[in-house]
Amino acid sequence: MLNVDDTVNPVEPLLRTDRMPHIWCPGCGIGTTVNAFSRALIDSKLDLQSLALVSGIGCTGRVAGYVKLDSFHTTHGRAIPFATGLKLANPKLSVIVYSGDGDLSAIGGNHLIHAARRNINLKVICVNNLIYAMTGGQTAPTTPGHAITSTNPYGTFEPAFNLPHLVDAAGAVYIARWTTFHVRQLARSISEAFDKKGFSFIEVISPCPTLYQRRNKMGDGLDTMKYYKEKSKVKHGAPTSEVGLTLNGEIAVGKFVDRDRPDYQSMMRAQYVESLGERYMEEPEMECVCG
């Protein structure tokens, strides 16, 4: 149980309250995910100093600006490679990538699959609102077929990415999906991801009432919560090939993948030790740059 002081929201110490109010729209789900993330950090009792959060560009990209952690708002699509450098330079850091579906799977898609392949020890939280929201609701690689967007005003017809399937094929060790209705399950998955060594991917289906739900006549934020509640089906361990999303259909949620394989830095260390023996100098000498 959280030790609740009723005058302070328990997640407040994790937020840059001097930056509130945030820019997100009424009914947007991103703030809900940040709340679940913050609660996961509290529950996990992680040393906040050892955490760094990296975002790309877009509505979810703004998360980096609101969390009171070492936080980096990088360029569009490049949160994962930035986080890769951060993690490799300081392996003691626990590095979270927090970004949107367009950022991570379109412009950043190449980095997503390669980070999963390398099994870099990163925790990726992908808030999937099914469109490009910051720029006004254009079609994303995740937009379900037939949805109306600003760039497909007569309905989309491109097949969409099934992100859990994509990162599963590329080698992620932990893959879960929840919606912003499933706040406790989401927080639990985030906590679990912190215990995994390797590339973890948590997809959060999240409403954009302003640009997606409204154009597709799906009601407001509350109506979307009802939809998530009624149409979500928990399918732990489901084959990721079967969890693709449709416009109004079922949303498979749960923990799809939880497996172990050596992460990038373990493999690197093992290879160097095998090849170089005592010539391998493991500890990066980071002190030297600080004078």
Partner 1 sequence: MRADPHGVLTGTHFIDGDHACCEGALAAGARFAAGYPITPSTEIVERFAARVPTVGGTFIQMEDELAASITLQGAVWGGAKAFTVTSGPGFSLMMEHIGYAAMTETPCVFVDVQRGGPSTGLPTLPAQADMMQARWGSHGDYEIIALCPNSPQECFDLTIKAFNLAEEFRVPVMFMMDEVVGHMTEKVVIPPADQIEVVPRKHTRRPIEDYLPYASNGELVPEMAHAGEGYKFHVTGLTHDERGYPNMTPQTQDKLVRRLQNKIRGASERICMFDEDGLHDADIVVVSYGITSRVAQRAIDMGRERGLKIGKLRLITAWPFSDHNILELAARVKAFVVPELNLGQMVREVERAAQGKARTVAVPHAGGGVHDPAEILNAIVEASRC
Binding site for partner 1 (CB under 8 A): 16, 19, 48-50, 52, 54, 64-65, 68-75, 77-78, 81-90, 92-93, 110-111, 114, 268, 272, 276, 279-286, 288-291
Give the span between the Cα atoms of 205 and 98, in whole angstroms: 14
Residues 67/15, Cβ–Cβ less than 8 Å: yes
- CA–CA separation, 74 vs 63, rounded Å? 11
Q: Provide the 10 A C-beta neighbour count for residue 26.
A: 8
Q: Whose Cβ is closer to partner 1: residue 90's or residue 246's?
A: 90
Closest among 247, 249, 229 to 143, alpha carbons compared: 247
Q: How far is the CB of 197 from partner 1 (least distance, A)?
A: 18
- C-beta of 88 vs 183, nearer to partner 1: 88
Q: How far is the CB of 239 from partner 1 (least distance, A)?
A: 27
Shortest Cβ 23–partner 1 spacing (Å):
9
Q: Shortest approach of partner 1 to residue 224 CB, angstroms?
A: 28
Residue closer to partner 1, measured from CB, 6 or 278: 278
Looking at the Cβ atoms of 7 and 49, the one nearer to partner 1 is 49
- Omega of the bond leading into 21 within 30 degrees of 0 (cis): yes
Cβ atoms of residues 30 and 204 within 8 Å? no
Cβ(184)–Cβ(268) under 8 Å? no
Minimum CB distance to partner 1 smaller for 42 or for 69 = 69
